[in-house]
Structure 1
Amino acid sequence: MKILFVAPWLPAPMRPRSLTIMRLLAEQHEVRFLGLTKNSAEATRVEHLPVQEPPVLVPNPTVGSLARAAVSLGTGQSLQTGYANPKSLTDELRRIIAEWRPDAVHLNVFRTAHLVEECGDTPVIIDLDEFRSEYYEQLAETGPNAAWRMLGRVEQRRMGAREAELVRMRVPIILSAPALKGELPPNTFVVRSPYDYAPQPRQPQSRPTVLFVGRLSYEANVNGLMWFIRECWQQIRRAVPTARLRIVGEAPPKNIQALVGDDIELFANVPSVDPHYAASDVAIAPIFRGTGIQMKLIQSLAAEVPTVTTGLVAARAGVEDGVHVRTAEDPAGWIEATSALLANPAGARRLAAAGREWAVANHGTDAVRVQLATAYRSLGTSIPQQRT
């Protein structure tokens, strides 16, 4: 089967879902890649892509992206779509389809949803990851300021309308998590984010280490982390005086950089997060707004690190408080849960073992490979399932 994989970015270890799903497809099919890049330096980092033919990369500088997003305000189009919609991307998509004639086009996340109609008669499947309009609905209600709340109201309406249209069109949709309530819409398939982690030997640390991992350009990550530091961290330090917080993430803003000191470390733009999990005693995911399943949760559980998160994140994933993770909502709960895990290594290990068992069963490559094949079968049985 010939699959054209289209993404609004270059799949990379810091965006593991798109990269690992691409790898799973390339195991059995011929995959070519079409994507956007912000700059020439990023365009040189393609050696990890699982493709035989050179990827087709379309420049998408930040200035142009922001300009198109601003124009979208007046057109009724989602800002997310406008951000990733240079004309050259559509032109390249049409050219590759005409010349290569793929059996399917795999569109990655909502930023590529505007390309569905451009694929013509070629079968399309889109990995939305989540119905992202729900996040903007949350942002409209609980955003950190008036500007964010306004953005949430605008994007929720526009994005929600396009998501509903895709459902009506019966475009096969991939989501990373089951529905919290009720059934998924028709032609929608759960394909969890694949993540394999061979547990590494514990790296002894001189101090108990609490770990946060996440993209620090993402508003929900920054706000959750800042809340934890402001409301919880010093109380945890009083309970465990030698504890330190290690922050690992991409593109840390200045307010995160300013936190670095004796009890807070920052590792920016690391090549791999694995060594940091091996060196941590507790992982945290203080995310109060979001949809889908947090990759940081999957990673920490797969790495067998005891984890504290919010009830929202746990419910999305399907993990249970006191069984796979500890959950907390307010500062008192977060302080108690984190401190207790640091103070009770035996109990923390039991929790972590159950968490890893859940992660392997649901997010291991073998499990996700089956989920992905089920979604692709919806494109039609006439399409060959093996590379020829």
Structure 2
Amino acid sequence: MKLLVISARFPLPLEKGDKLRLYHQLKYLARDHEVFLISLADEEIEEKWQRDIESFCQKTYIFSQSYAQHVFNALRGLCLGMPVNVGYFYQPSIKRRIHQLVGEIDPTAIYVQLIRMVPYVKDLQVPFMGIDYMDSFSLRIQRRVELGGLTSLFWRLEKAMLTRFELSCAKYFDSKFIISDVDKQHLESQGIDGLTLLRNGVDIEYYRVDQDRKAQKEYDILLVGNMSYHPNILAAKYLVEQIAVPLRRKLPNLKLLIAGASPSPQVTRLQNDWIHVTGYMPDIRDAYANARIFVAPIFAGSGLQNKILEAMAMGLPCVTSSLVNDSICAPAEAVREANDPAAFIDAVWSLLQHGDLDKYGNVGRAFVKEHFGWEGCSVPLKNLGAYHSNKSS
């Protein structure tokens, strides 16, 4: 069938979780369907990226939006009653063009990634509509509210608007997907039913330590992520200030690597003679291969953390919060849970000084290979084209 996928971001480069998820879903869907992709973009899309996607999709259509346009969109969206997380991406002129393309493509089904794109499609009449909520935006913002701070009032208002918007979206779609049990339970508590679990996966063959990467590891601790994303910024600061600095009193040669695209000034300021902040890396496997353990003190956000799956696939023992592991349910040998500085320090100290890192790493790799391969995680998408209406009357 003809399947039109509509997303808020172009899937390449793979430096954000939603783009990674979309990329692998497109490849899976293109096996059985004629897939067309409409994407918004806030960066210049290189021709090689477009060629990559069109090697398995029929055609891609890209609509660029500048930062100034995004800000204007958000302000206009607020006037229309949209949450900032949604209005930021909504532009009426693009909606008109998308509707024209829908008429030209004449798809049997439309698959939308994220609630951000719902204003573009809610008025369309097609035989089948599916949405990937991915994670719950209202849950993510609720956790940001819990952190407090000067902006907490704004985030409380945004959370209330997102809760209403997530619920209102459900009636437009025949199939609804969600990334984790935690997010699923949250949306169900808000009155959204008919959700299908659609986990993220990891490319087991890509994320592996080959002979060329088995050199002496330069860093003891690694954190990976998009370093402009607020929960990752908080995690980087927490890792340095609450964990690594105290640990270095016991381990004076401790070295820390913080890797990932677009580091904010708060992150780049953490760099010193024993902390290296890389910025974007063409091959993030080089970061995983150059560290002994992976530590992610994440206490905000929602969804499922790809960085943990990638670290385990690369054979790294992990230490993270129960918030993160609740969505993965990895065994304690592979992922140690910690929820305060003392627990993180104890876990990291124990691993670095007394842990059988190869043994724990092998347990983690075996776990993700069994439970989080993209092939198995994408199976729920097989039913995307089968009409089973969950629409509200």
TM-score (norm 2): 0.89
SS in 1 for 2:53: coil
One-letter identity of the residue aligned with 1:379: Y
Alignment match, 2:37: 33
Shift, 1:239, TM fit:
2.9
TM-score (norm 1): 0.90
| Correspondence for 2:338 among 312, 328, 331 | 328
1:183-224 Cα offsets, whole Å, 9 max, x none, are 955321111112113322353235443111111111111012
| Correspondence for 1:275 among 272, 278, 286 | 286
Alignment match, 1:191: 198
Alignment match, 2:367: 358
CA separation of 1:133/1:181 partners in 2, compared to 1, >3 Å: closer, same or farther? closer
CA contact (8 A) 1:133 1:160 kept: yes
One-letter identity of the residue aligned with 2:138: S
CA separation of 1:181/1:364 partners in 2, compared to 1, >3 Å: closer, same or farther? closer
Shift, 1:72, TM fit:
2.5
Structure 2: give runs of 5+ residues left out of the alignment.
none
Shift, 1:242, TM fit:
2.1
CA separation of 1:372/1:238 partners in 2, compared to 1, >3 Å: closer, same or farther? farther
Alignment match, 1:344: 354
CA contact (8 A) 1:170 1:187 kept: no
CA separation of 1:180/1:257 partners in 2, compared to 1, >3 Å: closer, same or farther? closer
| Correspondence for 1:222 among 210, 224, 233 | 233
CA contact (8 A) 2:174 2:388 kept: no
Shift, 1:295, TM fit:
1.2
SS in 2 for 1:85: coil
SS in 2 for 1:268: coil
Q: Does 1:19 align with 2:23?
A: yes
Once the two structures are superposed, the pairs formed by residues 93-132 of structure 1 within 5 Å of their partners are 93-132=98-137
Shift, 1:182, TM fit:
5.5
Once the two structures are superposed, the pairs formed by residues 147-226 of structure 1 within 5 Å of their partners are 147=151, 149-169=152-172, 171-179=174-182, 185-198=192-205, 199-201=208-210, 202-205=213-216, 207-226=218-237
For 1:188 and 1:378, locate their aligned partners in 2 and report how far apart those are by CA, in whole Å. Answer: 15
SS in 2 for 1:174: strand
Q: Does 1:314 align with 2:325?
A: yes
SS in 1 for 2:350: helix
One-letter identity of the residue aligned with 1:160: T
Shift, 1:119, TM fit:
2.5
1:208-252 Cα offsets, whole Å, 9 max, x none, are 431111111111110121012111111222333322111111111
CA contact (8 A) 2:304 2:328 kept: yes
For 1:271 and 1:65, locate their aligned partners in 2 and report how far apart those are by CA, in whole Å. Answer: 27
CA contact (8 A) 2:219 2:290 kept: no
SS in 2 for 1:49: helix
CA separation of 1:324/1:338 partners in 2, compared to 1, >3 Å: closer, same or farther? same
For 1:240 and 1:212, locate their aligned partners in 2 and report how far apart those are by CA, in whole Å. Answer: 18
For 1:46 and 1:264, locate their aligned partners in 2 and report how far apart those are by CA, in whole Å. Answer: 36
CA separation of 1:181/1:366 partners in 2, compared to 1, >3 Å: closer, same or farther? closer
For 1:379 and 1:351, locate their aligned partners in 2 and report how far apart those are by CA, in whole Å. Answer: 44
For 1:146 and 1:171, locate their aligned partners in 2 and report how far apart those are by CA, in whole Å. Answer: 40
CA separation of 1:308/1:298 partners in 2, compared to 1, >3 Å: closer, same or farther? same
The number of residues matched between the two structures is 376
Once the two structures are superposed, the pairs formed by residues 50-65 of structure 1 within 5 Å of their partners are 50=54, 51-65=56-70
One-letter identity of the residue aligned with 2:79: G
Alignment match, 1:384: none
One-letter identity of the residue aligned with 2:7: A
For 1:182 and 1:129, locate their aligned partners in 2 and report how far apart those are by CA, in whole Å. Answer: 13
Alignment match, 1:386: none
Shift, 1:379, TM fit:
3.1
